[in-house]
């Protein structure tokens, strides 16, 4: 058993080995955090950030098109400041 103990002591001096030993705990914590974030979204896509007020409350309100250039016009309305941003995509 002395050889095995010597090998484990040698591995404890290797930095990557220490990280690998901590990985299962970190992974379970990350899975928990991801689950909480997904729960907050409630199956919806996250809102965009409003370029006027900075709130993460911009939602797609309407689409038009395609235009003569083959682009779609999207109107995005902020639920906080109620301003509308128009995008051509």
Residue 53 lies in a domain: no
The answer on 35 and 63 residing in a single domain is no
Strands 58-64, 84-88: pairing is unpaired
Domain-embedded: residue 34: yes
pLDDT of residue 29: 94
The whole-number pLDDT of residue 9 equals: 82
Q: Full-prediction pTM beyond 0.75?
A: no
**Domains contained in the chain, number:** 2
Helices 2-12 and 15-41, packing angle to 10 deg:
60
Q: Please report whether residue 8 resides in a domain.
A: yes
84 is in which domain, residue-wise? 58-88
* Residue-wise pLDDT tens digits, 20-64: 888 999 999 999 999 998 888 787 777 788 999 989 899 999 999
Residues 62 and 37 in one domain: no
- Confidence band (pLDDT; 50, 70, 90) for 1? low
């Amino acid at each position: 058993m002395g050889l095995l103990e010597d090998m484990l002591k040698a591995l404890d001096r290797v930095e990557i080995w220490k990280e690998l030993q901590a990985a299962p705990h970190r992974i379970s914590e990350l899975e928990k955090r991801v689950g909480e974030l997904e729960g907050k979204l409630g199956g919806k896509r996250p809102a965009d950030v409003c370029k006027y007020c900075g709130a993460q409350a911009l939602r797609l309100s309407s689409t038009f098109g395609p235009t003569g250039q083959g682009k779609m016009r999207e109107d995005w309305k902020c639920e906080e400041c109620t301003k509308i941003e128009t995008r051509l995509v």
